[in-house]
Amino acid sequence: MNKLNYLFGGLMVLLISCQQQTKNKSVENELTKPDTLANSGEELLEFGFLNEAKNAVILLDTDDSIQHPAYLTEAIIANQLVKAKYAHFQKQNEVLDNGRQTEANFDYVAGHYFSLEKNSSQSDFALLVNPSFLSKRSIIPFDLENKNTQKEELNLPAKYQRKVKNQKTIAFLPNNTLIKLIEFEVEQDSALAILVYSSPDKILIKEFPALYDEISTWSVDDGGEFGMDYFQIESILANGDRIELVISEFGAEGYNLTFLRESGGTFDEIKRAYGYSAPN
């Protein structure tokens, strides 16, 4: 019996050793293998948040769907390209992690960790992409202020001819193009806000309909107001003749990062990530 126990124990040690070697080899391959996935033409994109020094990013998604983080080699941050390099999967500090995806908790949260080639202090967020994604796109510059005294009036379709409660232009682009948020007065219990991309060539509209509630309409504890001051254009891209937007939205408990793509006069939501950031 003792011989059998000894033999069984030896086999278990050998098995564990082989598993660990395979795991280590897998990590090594992830960091060194050629970018065959990028060469295949498949586009990859993932959202992340930056640390306090603005020289590193951790992805918001941590599930098994992110199988090849090393293929994400560029970060789009506040409409600028920054080289990114995958370092490792950061383990959670079970003692110090407070569960928030914020710069203050960056060192303690679990997630795929990337270093940045240079600091980027213009935003707290990044869109990590692969070369195939970038090969089809260009970045469109924009301003947050109306530096060229653009006209901000819009000719909206008839279905939006309802009383406006609040509006704000959030981006000014070249060629008399702008992006505006409009919140309409509530009709019965129907609340509606829209994002409008308006250029001389086209108008694109993204609707944000909601059931009105005086406490929480579009997000938790928003007081029934569409938070325009907490809605920001992070980046604007041209994909052929289609417009794509990277936006951030803050709420009482967290933030949403969304990638939108022009489609038939509106914007389709291609990817969204949520970060928990409620105050302590």
58 vs 51: CA distance, rounded Å: 8
- Fill in the amino acid letter for 213: D
Report pLDDT for 19. 47
Give the number of residues written for the chain.
Answer: 280
| Alpha-helix residue ranges (DSSP H) falling in 51-192 | 131-135
pLDDT of residue 36: 52
Q: Name the nearest CA neighbour of 208 among 188, 232, 190, 234.
A: 190
What local confidence, expressed as pLDDT, does residue 30 receive? 44
By the 8 A CB rule, do 69 and 84 touch?
no
Q: Where are the beta strands (DSSP E) in 212-264?
A: 231-239, 242-250, 254-263
Q: What is the pLDDT of residue 40?
A: 58
- Global pTM reads 0.84
pLDDT value for 270 = 97
Phi/psi for 240 (5° steps) reads 65, -125
Q: Which residues of 46-70 are buried (b: 16+ CB within 10 A; e: fewer)?
A: bbbbbbeebbbbbbbeeeeebebbb
Tell me the pairing of strands 254-263 and 242-250: antiparallel
Q: With 0-12 CB in 10 A as exposed, 13-18 as middle and 19+ as buried, what is 172?
A: buried
Give me 212's structure tokens. 């009105």
What is the residue-level pLDDT of the chain in tens, covering all 280 positions? 544 444 444 444 444 444 444 444 444 344 444 445 545 589 999 999 999 999 999 999 977 678 789 999 999 999 999 999 999 999 999 999 999 999 999 999 999 999 999 987 789 999 999 999 999 999 999 998 887 666 777 888 888 988 999 999 999 999 999 999 999 999 999 999 999 999 999 999 999 999 999 999 999 899 999 999 999 999 999 999 999 999 999 988 999 999 999 999 999 999 999 999 988 6
Q: Is there a contact between 106 and 59 (Cβ–Cβ < 8 Å)?
A: no
